[in-house]
Structure 1
Amino acid sequence: MRVIGLMSGTSCDAIDAAAADLGIEGDTVVLTPLGDIECAFPGGLRRELLAALPPSSTTMAAVCRLDTLLGQALAAAADRADRELCAGEAELVVSHGQTCYHWTEDGRVRGTLQLGQPAWITERTGRTVVSDLRPRDVAAGGQGAPLVSALDVLWLRGRPGAPVALNLGGIANITVAHGAHGPLAYDTGPANVLLDTAVRELTGGRADHDADGALAAAGTVCRPLLDRLLAEPYYARPAPKTTGRELFNAAYLRTALAGFGHLPAEDVLATLTELTARTVADAVRAAGGTEVIASGGGTRNPVLLARLALALDGVPVRVSDELGLPSGAKEAYAFALLGFLTALGLPGTVPACTGARHARVLGSVTPGRGGPPPRPWDVPAPVRLRVSRGAPRTGPSQDPQIGIGNAY
């Protein structure tokens, strides 16, 4: 089945679209990457979105407007991905949407809200859309995250030791695929979200990120500030746990900086970079990790990767590209996988990773022209994932069985 995955993360920097040919061979799901693109938000949508996110207040009118505009932006990204990556032969679109609020109380997730109305995607592309993937896991008692753990556990099964998949997005999260402490997954804390916030705050909005970590590289870690940041109670809470902009935002940063006078921007960014490296390394060591396979926008920051390698003290760090999944689009590929599983009626969660009572089939389905792709019967749940670098099929599946493996 040819599937497009759409992802817009906590950083709110762009929409990632990844296309994959997905099928099942025995107990293995086979993922053949077809390519990925990054689509900027149109006009002032990113600015409007950031203005509505915590700790800001908003209105129902703004929520309705954002739901529509994000849906239209996701539709444009899906249409472009279908044309450029799938030759117009995509069979399914999977849209994560944009997380605008993750409601947590006393360590439990009570609800989660992703905006980006999927009807716009179906209307523009004609494809069936799987969306709203997180709420089912929350309703089953889970954190609704990290959902990428479903891909990680399948993908890293059989790899020696205790491999740890790391996503350095707005928030950093890890998946311990197996070993004495696995499977296990949780958000370790901030990655790009505080770094980007600091750049916007300290430059008066003239810049929105620390390109190549250049500012952090020119600074010195402020130990008293680092100690204050590390005292955040979230880090001591047991997994599974999730976090986001509801905690780590501009107000949080201002409170942390209070009393330090005029710290150079370079020192603030050096300290925040060290915070991410330290909290990730602590999580990896606690899990007995023997290697780290990193993905996400933070892998483009050489200073962050260097600080992480130093904090891990000998645990090797590699990027997911080395194992066949592009680091900048891995989450989009993960959501393509989750939507594929939904189309087959198969669960897309690992309860040990999200904290849910049971594994659940995820998402809501918006049928495209002709209805959703045919669902085959008695498809076994896969136990591993193989990333294939072979040539994908040359056309869409006509027989429902071809969509689950006979094409390979």
Structure 2
Amino acid sequence: MRVIGLMSGTSYDAIDAAAAELDLVGDGLVLKPLGMVSEPYDEELRAALAAALPPGTTSVADVCRLDTLIGRAFAAAAVRADRELCDGRAEVVGSHGQTVYHWVEGGRVHGTLQLGQPAWIAEATGLPVVADFRPRDIAAGGQGAPLVSLVDLMWLRGRPGTPVALNLGGIANVTAPDGTAFDTGPGCALIDAAAHGFTGGRLAYDVDGALAARGRVCPALLERLLAEPYYALPAPKTTGKELFHVGHLREALAAVGTLSAEDVVATLTHLTARTVADAVRTLGATEVIASGGGTRNPVLTRMLGELLPGVALRRSDELGLPSDAKEAYAFAVLAFLTVHGLPGTVPASTGARHASVLGSVTPGRDGLRLPPPVGDGPVRLVLE
């Protein structure tokens, strides 16, 4: 089955569309990557999305407009992926959508909201669309994240030692072989916010870690940031830009006085490396297999390596799964599981009472013809 996975993460800079050929073979799910295309949000839509995210305020009218405009943008990415990567022969689309709010209180997740109306994708492609993956796990008592943990567990099963999967997106998360998975805290979210703010919007992120490379870590600011209670919470736990946004950074800066842009970004880069390294050590990792945009920041990866002596640090590309496309491929896998009636969660990872078949399905142009259920489903992910 050819499946397109659509993903836009907490950095909300672009929509990634990855296509995969997926087949069940024994107890394995064979994934043949067909490639990825990326569609940047246009500046007007990105600005509207940024204004609606915490700590900003919004209206129901704005949410409605964003749901439609993001849905159209996702639809355009899916059409392009089907044409360029699947020769027009894709069968299903899995769309994560754009997270705009993750409702967490007292360590419990009560709800989540991803925008990007799937009807636009179904109409444009003619294909059935699986979307709204996270709410079902939350309804079952889970955190609704990290959902890529199931893919990580299947993919890394059988590797020697204790391999830990790390995603360095806007928010960083880890998955260990025993199923433990959680968000460690900010990946690039605060770094991006500082780079954008200090350059008057000229930079969306710290390109090649250039700002951090010219700065020095400020111990007072680092200590203030590390005092955030989230880091001490037990797993499973999830977070987002509801907590780690520009207001969080401004509050910390107000307590330590004026610093240069370079020193602030260097400190935030060390914060990410430190909180990720702390999490990885608790998992007893012998190797870290990293993916996500943060892996392109050489200062961040250098700091992480220095904080994890003796732990091999490599990108997922080395194991055959493109780092930039990994999450999009993960949602292609989750969509495949859903249409086959198979669960897409690991209770040990999300804290749910049980595993769940995820998402809601929007029929395609020819209606909805789901494959027959296939028993217990795969336990291994094999890359072809």
338, 350, 353: which one pairs with 1:354?
350
Alpha-carbon separation, structure 2, partners of 1:369 and 1:52: 33
Q: What SS class does the counterpart of residue 324 from structure 2 fall into?
A: coil
Tell me by how many angstroms 1:381 deviates: 1.1
SS at match of 1:259: helix
Aligned-partner Cα distance in 2 for 1:259–1:25: 57
Q: Tell me the distance in 2 between the aligned counterparts of 1:261 and 1:110.
A: 37
1:209-220 correspondence to structure 2 within 5 Å = 209-220=205-216
The residue that corresponds to 2:170 in the other structure is 170
Alignment partner, residue 126 of structure 2: 126
SS of aligned partner of 1:345: coil
Q: Distance in 2 between matches of 1:55 and 1:302?
A: 29
Mapped to 1, the partners of 2:8 and 2:51 lie a distance apart of: 16
User: Aligned runs of 1:329-348 on 2, under 5 Å?
Assistant: 329-348=325-344
1:137 maps onto 2:137 in alignment: yes
Point out the more displaced range, 88-97 or 372-381: 372-381
User: Match of 1:303?
Assistant: 299
Map Cα deviations across residues 122-171 of structure 1 (whole Å, 9 max, x no partner): 00010000000000000000000000001000000111111100000000
Contiguous gaps of at least 5 residues in structure 1? 389-408
- Whether contact under 8 Å (2:7, 2:15) holds in the other structure is yes
Counterpart for residue 36 of structure 2: 36
Distance in structure 2 (CA, Å) of the matches to 1:348 and 1:256? 38
- The CA RMSD measured in Å over matched residues stands at 0.8
How far apart, in 2, do the equivalents of 1:346 and 1:377 lie? Answer: 7
The separation in 1 between residues aligned to 2:373 and 2:333, in whole angstroms, is: 18
2:321 maps to 1:325? yes
1:80 maps to which residue? 80
The equivalent of 2:252 in structure 1 is 256
Q: How many Å separate the matches in 2 of 1:379 and 1:372?
A: 21
In 1, distance between residues paired with 2:250 and 2:27?
50
| 1:91/1:373 contact within 8 Å kept | no
Checking the alignment, whether the CA contact within 8 Å between 2:341 and 2:374 is kept in structure 1 is no
Give, in angstroms, the shift of residue 32 of structure 1: 0.5
Q: Which residue of 1 aligns with 2:71?
A: 71
Q: Compute the displacement of 1:43 (Å).
A: 4.3
Gaps in structure 2 of 5+ consecutive residues: none
1:42/1:73 contact within 8 Å kept = no
Which one of 212, 216, 225 corresponds to residue 221 of structure 2? 225
Q: Indicate conservation of the 8 Å contact 2:340/2:374, yes or no.
A: no
Shift of 1:202: 1.4
Tell me, in whole angstroms, the C-alpha distance in 2 between the residues paired with 1:38 and 1:199: 22
In structure 1, C-alpha distance between the alignment counterparts of 2:152 and 2:20, rounded to whole Å: 16
Does 2:272 match 1:276? yes
Q: Distance in 2 between matches of 1:217 and 1:378?
A: 52
Cα 1:44–1:86 shift into 2, 3 Å: same
What corresponds to 2:147 in structure 1?
A: 147
Question: Who is 1:240 aligned against?
Answer: 236
User: SS of the residue aligned with 1:329?
Assistant: helix
Question: Which one is further off, 370-379 or 126-135?
Answer: 370-379
User: Which whole-Å CA distance do the structure 1 matches of 2:258 and 2:199 have between them?
Assistant: 13
Deviation (angstroms), 1:244:
0.3
Q: Count residues in correspondence.
A: 384
Shift of 1:373: 4.3
Amino acid at match of 2:368: P
* Correspondence for 1:99: 99
TM-score for the superposition, normalised by structure 1:
0.93
1:207 to partner: Cα distance: 1.7
1-structure distance, mates of 2:278, 2:144: 23
**Residues 344, 379 of structure 1: 8 Å contact kept:** no
How far apart are 1:282 and its partner, in Å?
Answer: 0.5
Secondary structure at 2:141 match in 1: coil
Indicate yes or no: 2:286 matched with 1:290: yes
1:400 counterpart residue number: none
* C-alpha separation in 1, matches of 2:172 and 2:375: 34
User: Which ranges of 4 or more aligned residues in structure 1 deviate by more than 3 Å?
Assistant: 377-380
Aligned match of 1:53: 53
